[in-house]
Amino acid sequence: MAMLAFLDKSHTIAKPGYSRWLIPPAALCVHLCIGQAYAFSVFNLPMTKLLGITTWAPGDWKLTQLGWIFSLAIFFLGASAALFGRWVEEGGPRRAMFTAALCWSGGFLVSAFGVSIHNLWVIYLGYGVLGGFGLGIGYISPVSTLIKWFPDRPGMATGMAIMGFGGGAFIASPLSVWLMGKFSGPAHIGVAETFLVLGLVYFCFMMVGAAIVRLPPPGWQPAGWTPPVQPKKLVTSNDVYVYKALKTPQFWLIWWVLCLNVTAGIGVLGQASAMSQEMFHGRISAVAAAGFVGLMSLFNMGGRFAWASLSDWIGRKNTYFCFFVIGAVLYALVPQMGELRSVAGFVLCFLVIISMYGGGFSTVPAYLKDMFGTRYVGAIHGLLLTAWSMAGIFGPVLVNYIRQYNVEHGVPKADAYNTTMYIMAFLLVIGFVCNWLVKAVDRRHHMAAQERAEAVA
Amino acid sequence: MATEEGGGNAVKLVLAWLFVGIPLAWGVWNTLMNALLLFK
């Protein structure tokens, strides 16, 4: 019971002397762990050889079957963020982080069992469903807390946490390879043991975050900071109830803004290695392509912090205008870079594009806070993440199927991506229009003073 | 209501940032080393 009381929102209120700069590391404890999802592919090949050990054997799983593990996890990320957003908001960050830790590490432990009995359905249930819940709840758990502690720099604060989600793969990927090497032998591949260790390590790491996270006392403000007397046109000091936000055009416009920005980035992120080798056949080797993918991951992570921090200065709407204008121009330039055989130009285009893909994720919580207030921003953010799930389908489908169609119709492989690049540029133009249409939320959607008082109580 | 921002416990702050910073820096370093292959 004492443990459960420790999770209560009332036990999470910061005492005098607590520094708000402890909140970003608390958030990073969670996001660095769940960011492992981006590195799950390191397990794909070893998991196709669990029986055959050195090569695929009858009874071993196929890559197509294993691909569903990641897809399920991302699907349940969006679904759980949407379903549990309000629960996370009302129960406080510690309970949410603890639940996320249980689900995420539980997903690994169940999957370890699935690998040991060689049952793929158990892994779907473990990493895909249970782990997916951990991803969704963990992703949104620190967002509104960060915004409440950093009303003066909400973009930078959420950027730091969401940067962790991009950076988690950097740690997980080499760590997983190292662990598998330690646990593997001539007649055994150590995937189950690696899952077991990762599950336990991630649980401990995430619990550190849950232990140090705190909510600011009611009415707290940073020393020396006062809310602007005349707030900006697109920044509200009112709150909108989570389900009322769904009835506003602003929610759906921002939903499309995120969906289109992510669609443009996610497709090329997954195909970067193959695309670079096909567009620059003979000039970019498989090893160099792997380096390109690594560089893109770094810009994906860095962009999350840099663009979200910049949005505190130039505003969220202008930041998204940058994404859409610069992104559309760069996508349109990619085929020219291919024609000119300019590897440097090609790499530069995609590094900027991918930084804006990451920036889209980290800027959106602050955008929502500006439009709907801080009270339910975490829950509204959770609902908005369904745009990510949709983009996760649109993006790769656009890139893969159009390329396939082109190749089958005689287009040289080096030019097979050109149509997709122009389509991506067009999608970003639509995103620009959606962003342009975003105006301040109508007053009738704001919570009345009494509702706000009841919500706080 | 504006209240004082806590000065915080400096040791706690340093430890918390090191706790997340060291693994992240290790991961970034690893990735950077791999990324350099693009220019070789």
Establish if B11 touches chain A: CB-CB under 8 angstroms. Answer: no
Tokens of A195: 């899952």
Are B35 and A347 an interchain contact pair (Cβ–Cβ within 8 Å)? no
- pLDDT tens-digit map of A380-438: 999 999 998 888 777 877 777 888 888 888 888 888 888 889 999 999 999 999 999 99
Contact A95, A8 (CB under 8 A): yes
Are A164 and B6 an interchain contact pair (Cβ–Cβ within 8 Å)? no
B9 has pLDDT over 80: no
Q: What is the pLDDT of residue A154?
A: 93
How close B11 comes to chain A (CA, Å)?
11
Give the position of tokens 């109508």: A442
Instruction: Name the residue of chain B whose CA is nearest to A217's CA.
Output: B3
DSSP string computed for A242-292: HHHHTTSHHHHHHHHHHHHHHHHHHHHHHHHHHHHHHHTTTTS-HHHHHHH
Instruction: Name the residue of chain B whose CA is nearest to A165's CA.
Output: B24
Residues of A in contact with B22 (CB under 8 A): none
A188 has pLDDT over 90: yes
Establish if B14 touches chain A: CB-CB under 8 angstroms. Answer: no
Q: What is the pLDDT of residue A1?
A: 59
A167 vs B4, B24, B34: nearest CB: B24
Weakest mean pLDDT among A106-115, A246-255, A310-319, A438-447:
A438-447
A171 vs B24, B36, B37: nearest CB: B24
Q: How far apart are CA A330 and CA A415, in angstroms?
A: 16
Q: How far apart are CA A244 and CA A159, in angstroms?
A: 26
Are A19 and B5 an interchain contact pair (Cβ–Cβ within 8 Å)? yes
A2 has pLDDT over 80: no
Establish if B5 touches chain A: CB-CB under 8 angstroms. Answer: yes
Residues of B in contact with A28 (CB under 8 A): 20, 24
A25 vs B7, B20, B37: nearest CB: B20
- pLDDT tens-digit map of A102-116: 999 999 999 999 999
A293 has pLDDT over 90: no
More confident position, A389 or A18: A18
Q: What is the pLDDT of residue B2?
A: 40
A454 band by pLDDT with thresholds 50, 70 and 90: low
CB pairs under 8 A between A and B: 102
Which residue from A336, A170, A350 is spatially nearest to A264, judged by alpha carbons?
A350
Q: What are phi and psi of A281, to 5 degrees?
A: -55, 125
Residues of A in contact with B34 (CB under 8 A): 290-291, 294
Are A171 and B40 an interchain contact pair (Cβ–Cβ within 8 Å)? no
A41 has pLDDT over 50: yes
Are B31 and A294 an interchain contact pair (Cβ–Cβ within 8 Å)? yes
Residues of A in contact with B12 (CB under 8 A): 19, 22, 212
Q: What are phi and psi of A188, to 5 degrees?
A: -155, 140
Weakest mean pLDDT among A13-17, A277-281, A288-292:
A288-292
- Rounded to the nearest integer, the mean pLDDT of chain A is 91
Which residue from A154, A152, A36, A132 is spatially nearest to A84, judged by alpha carbons?
A132
Residues of A in contact with B39 (CB under 8 A): 291
A228 has pLDDT over 90: no
Are A170 and B1 an interchain contact pair (Cβ–Cβ within 8 Å)? no
Instruction: Name the residue of chain B whose CA is nearest to A28's CA.
Output: B20
Residues of chain A with pLDDT > 90, as a percent, come to: 63
Are A291 and B37 an interchain contact pair (Cβ–Cβ within 8 Å)? yes
User: Whole-model pTM?
Assistant: 0.88
A253 band by pLDDT with thresholds 50, 70 and 90: very high
Task: Give the 3-state secondary structure of residue A215.
Answer: strand
How close A331 comes to chain B (CA, Å)?
21
Burial of A265 (0-12, 13-18, 19+ CB in 10 A): buried
Q: How far apart are CA A164 and CA A170, in angstroms?
A: 10
Q: Which of B9, B15, B34 to mutate to test the interface with A (most CBs of A within 10 A)?
A: B34
